[in-house]
Amino acid sequence: MTKTPLVKPEFSAKRTDPYGPPTIHRQLQVESPVTELDWPETRRKVWTVAKYEDVRAMLGDTRFSSDRSRPEHPAHVAYDEVSHQGAIIEMDPPEHSVLRGRIMNEFTVKKINALRPRIEQFVNESIDAMLASGNEGDLVHLLSLPVPSLVIADLLDVPEKDHGFFQKNAEIFADGNLPQDERKAASRAIADYIAVLVDERTENPGDDIISRQIQAGSTRQEAIGLGHLLLIAGHETTSNMISLVVMTLLDRPDLRQQLEDDPKLIRGAVEELLRYFTIAEPGGLRLALEDIELGGQTIPAGSTVFGLANTANRDPDVFPNPDEIDFKRGARNHIAFGFGPHQCLGQNVARLELIIVLEILFERLPNLKLNVPVSELRFKEYSNFGIHELPVSW
């Protein structure tokens, strides 16, 4: 890669190439792996961390706070005490340790694998609806959004009649282009709904995550925060990955052919594409609680710190030829799901959904194709990376 000297660099989290990190991020990895820059989009300075080992060290160090209720935290602007209180993704130890320890048993590999028949059903039903609707449409709204929404709603035992409410409000909350007030209103609407579920399950426990967490000792607010987190985090991130994976395979017929020739590559393909896109990069925002040395630099207390997981997952010292998509790479050591205390709880749910989509989609829709070139797609510029619409025909 040719080096271009950094002249008065400014940081931006926006991706200009759907298939790679911003150029400035790659330059930082080579020239200034841990450095402080101006971040005009937020009107603050930010310490960026771009090497794989440094990002892992940062994410594993609880002196870098995830507590977004702190006014000085860089993600505080999106914090809402009504709907976010009790969400473990926004907590620090010791509270975080207690709540995460209580919920971990819900996400064992054995329990997640037991979801396979239901996920297969949701994928097949979504494809049935596609076929019944004609021969073209937007895959985001026909498949990518419904499947994760149905899976999370199933985990929470949400009545089927309310699935549309969940999907609509989760999509509003995740749209960084919408006014903050509108996003917060959607978040509160979900929290209010979850609160009703929690109260109902407190009186009449069922066979669902919320009921079991209440019985295990969760307070009302903790149970609400958990339900809200599962819906928001588990729905939007997975839907974005489904869209990006399908887009890539339609844009790169050679990659699609590899999976058709050898379906055993699907699991490896999912890991490699998770590494390649690393869509949940805002999860790497932290607040330094004290002076901390990282990568040979001292980051002062009170600093905004951004672990650039997308760039870290392209670190050539860890992933040779990182810009190539290699389904045989064995990329399970990627940090697309984060690392350390806040590593994504639902990562195995997301993996299974992606695997099942790839097992079923192209077999049932062998003529699936993009209706527009990738260059004409509208990509999400804020929050988690994804696609607004994916026009396809079948």
For residue 256, what is the domain's CATH number?
1.10.630.10
Please report the pLDDT score of residue 306 as a whole number: 97
Q: What is the pLDDT of residue 174?
A: 67
Any idea which residue has 């749209």 for tokens? Answer: 175
Question: Given pLDDT bands bounded at 50, 70 and 90, which one contains residue 86?
Answer: low
Asked whether the predicted pLDDT for residue 87 surpasses 70, the reply is: yes
Band the pLDDT of 7: cuts 50, 70, 90.
low
Closest CA to 146 of 127, 172, 174: 127
Q: Does any domain span residue 240?
A: yes
- The answer as to whether 123 is a domain residue is yes
Beta carbons of 91 and 70 less than 8 angstroms apart:
no
Q: Is the pLDDT of residue 254 over 90?
A: yes
Ordered DSSP codes for 32-62: -SEEEEEETTTTEEEEEE-SHHHHHHHHT-T
Q: Can you name the residues that pair with 306 across neighbouring β-strands? A: 48, 285
* pLDDT-based confidence at residue 235 (cuts at 50, 70, 90): confident
Q: Does residue 183 form part of some domain?
A: yes
Residue with tokens 């940081």: 11
Span 21-48, average pLDDT: 94
**The pLDDT value given to residue 80:** 65
Residue 18 belongs to some domain of the structure: no
* Residue at 269: amino acid letter: A
Cβ of 253: how many Cβ atoms within 10 Å? Answer: 11
* Residues near 217 by beta carbon (within 8 Å), at least 6 away in sequence: 102
| Structural domain total, the chain | 1
Q: Is residue 12 a part of any domain in this protein?
A: no
Q: Give the Cα separation of 95 and 342 in Å (integer).
A: 13
Residue 376 domain flag: yes
pLDDT at 361 over 90: yes
pTM: 0.91
CA distances, 281 to each of 210, 284, 306, 320, 335 (Å) = 28, 6, 9, 21, 10
**In percent, how much of the chain has pLDDT > 70?**
94
Answer whether residue 10 is part of any domain.
Answer: no
Q: Mean pLDDT, the chain, as a whole number? A: 90
CA–CA distances in Å: residue 156 to residues 162, 188, 230, 332, 384: 12, 17, 9, 28, 23
Domain encompassing residue 111 = 23-393
Tokens, residue 227? 């339900």
Q: Which of 93-107, 139-153, 255-269 has the highest mean pLDDT?
A: 255-269
Strand partners, 297: 294
Residue 2 lies in a domain: no
**Exposed e or buried b per residue across 161-177, where buried means at least 16 C-beta atoms within 10 angstroms of its C-beta:** eebeebbebbbbbbbee
Asked whether residue 165 carries a pLDDT value surpassing 60, the answer given is yes
DSSP secondary structure string for all residues of 295-323? TTEEEPTT-EEEE-HHHHTT-TTTSSSTT
Confidence of residue 84 (pLDDT cuts 50, 70, 90): low
Query: Which one has a higher pLDDT value, 241 or 236?
Result: 241
Q: Would you give the distance in Å from CA 365 to the centre of its chain?
A: 26
Is residue 307 within 8 Å of residue 49, measured between CB atoms? yes
